[in-house]
Structure 1
């Protein structure tokens, strides 16, 4: 890091740095506050007789997860304070990320086995969350190393600012919007015939023991296997959620809309934002995973991490390119494309999930469930290929133009 004359710094830079510092401090504080609240609530339930503690066994993991979110704000806080004191942060170079992450993939396989072993032995401990963090973060680091190789990704202050902004601003906003959509959908569905019976069955399923899970699923089979249920899930997860998430995931980039970002900078910032979003989403998904489906969920979340990183990277590239040349059609096409891609991914993931349930599916759905892993795998290969191509193209654009010799 190097010192820089404060007079050369624009008020815009100072405003963004102060805003980043406030967001990081506020997000870390709220995360710690939420962790303390969960601990107090957990201790209270332990002292109250007759309270059903089913489902509360993962409270310690949630507390550790919130503390990790708070800890993630520390690099941003430190770098902002140093910048305000006149110390310029270094450039976030990813040249060695891919090599180190590739080497650690061997360790990743061992951690995958260890995580499943801990769950199967009933040891849902905070240590398991550390294993989950490694399992989710390493593929994301590998992806960033691949996609950002030789691309100017900006400073470390910007990198950690995007991570903190995604954790503390983007994720809560997406959660609030999706919750509003879910509540609206439930209220609308409550007017349909038979909704109350279906809701009561789902409530019983949510509180049932593992031993009665198969029996409850068999009782719900006619409802879950109905076209209405499938179409509703696909409409929600295949259209509404992609529309919301792909619109909001690059939210932090809008703070830089007047900073004359290059397309490669927008691409890099989108990748970082998407990877940060995928990290937290996947940790919450793994926190709710059971031992039997642990392998499938880890592999599935690895693929979903690729999806979120890819789509937000493309949106970042489209936003920066549009701010650069004013061609809004490109942005509209990219947004439509990533929403469709996200929707197809979610739809096949839902169909594949139906295929694992203990009841007979209609012929077409059953065929799609069998083909879903192959289709999702092909989509993952396609996204990796596009990331590599985009990296080669943008890295070449970042190279300084050589003067023509005459």
Structure 2
């Protein structure tokens, strides 16, 4: 029987090996291609220097993707060869968790360094992509370490497989699903607009007037004042909230923990579901944040982006952790109501977060125009800060609850071992 067990799971290991190898090869090819394209002269002078910045972002992102898939490839390879993996691949070894908690102390230093380097495009094109990895990755690593602290769960191989799938496959799948949903909504609202414009021709003239004004150019303040009456219309607000606080959170929270579905038939505990969800959310947050920086920005915009994007890991990990927790309760205990409750909580939290972020991004422009001070901006971010604190507290409380259940399970096993008659 023992020799048949590896054969039953061998296809999963082979699949992980093949997918990780393809992912590594594709990432390295993309990194080299981006670098070569960035080195080709465009004859644009200073604009050519600025163009190296997003090229550097992309190149470093692809290199990171290859690096993060390497443990999946090596662990799968060692498993197929029947050999023990080297100790340096064990991220759960003693002392590493405490080190992960301390690395957050480097985050302010790295962030300030990135803010300074952003002002020098010649240097930023080569180094800022690497700094972005640390700026976005350190908070994700720190939050994950705290959230799963002392929770016994998957093996290292399983954790890396969940991470690799969630990092390489799910962002693309989620974007594809969101594009389909947005296209469908655009078609629906377009048909509604055509129906209304047929009965009210003034709508067409109004739209043509707006497009003409924007196409003629002008400063941002003029464009904002032109669009302000339309952005404040109840219909526009409803559509915006329906997309950013409804459709997008539903798609992301349902699909992010997809890696756990391959383990539906296994004897998973609520801890497994929560930790697996944390890993899925961390992988998605890391990829999303890296892609956010693939545009040229001023130093102040880069700093604002670094500060705001560093918090999104909490959002994605809490949501996926709740859904993963609910999935295991539904599979093992038949408590589908718990899954429904956790899914609603995850979607609601995500929706409130997106609505608050949308408000913080648009409200200052509508009220103060483009000349907004950092303190005026900060005022509108207070709701996001409060939500962030609530999310952090929630992750700590969930961790404590699951650790308590872990202790109770250990006590039960000890009793069963001391009294064999109880489980014969």
TM-score (norm 2): 0.81
Match of 2:162 in 1: 162
1:247 matched to 2:254: yes
Match of 1:273 in 2: 280
Q: Which has the higher helix share?
A: 2
Match of 1:66 in 2: 62
Match of 2:389 in 1: 381
1:310 matched to 2:353: no
TM-score (norm 1): 0.84
Q: Runs of 5+ in structure 2 lacking a partner?
A: 194-202, 370-375, 420-424
Shift of 1:53: 7.2
Shift of 1:169: 1.5
On the 8 A contact 1:167/1:277 being kept in 2, the answer is yes
CA distance in structure 2 between the partners assigned to 1:294 and 1:47 by the alignment? 25
On the 8 A contact 2:167/2:280 being kept in 1, the answer is no
Match of 1:141 in 2: 141
CA distance in structure 2 between the partners assigned to 1:83 and 1:198 by the alignment? 62
Match of 1:120 in 2: 119
Distance change in 2, residues 1:266/1:126 (3 Å): farther
Match of 1:403 in 2: 415
On the 8 A contact 2:329/2:336 being kept in 1, the answer is no
Distance change in 2, residues 1:40/1:96 (3 Å): same
1:347 aligned counterpart, secondary structure: helix
Distance change in 2, residues 1:108/1:39 (3 Å): closer
Q: 2:78 aligns with which of 65, 79, 82?
A: 82
CA distance in structure 2 between the partners assigned to 1:184 and 1:140 by the alignment? 33
On the 8 A contact 2:257/2:324 being kept in 1, the answer is yes
Q: What count of residue pairs does the alignment treat as equivalent?
A: 389
Deviations 1:208-235 (A, max 9, x none): 9xxx555544544444444443332221
Larger displacement relative to structure 2 (14-23 or 72-81): 14-23
On the 8 A contact 1:238/1:343 being kept in 2, the answer is yes
1:136 aligned counterpart, secondary structure: helix
Distance change in 2, residues 1:226/1:42 (3 Å): farther
Match of 1:365 in 2: none
Shift of 1:183: 2.8
1:261 aligned counterpart, secondary structure: coil
CA distance in structure 2 between the partners assigned to 1:199 and 1:103 by the alignment? 52
On the 8 A contact 1:23/1:168 being kept in 2, the answer is no
Q: Runs of 5+ in structure 1 lacking a partner?
A: 362-367
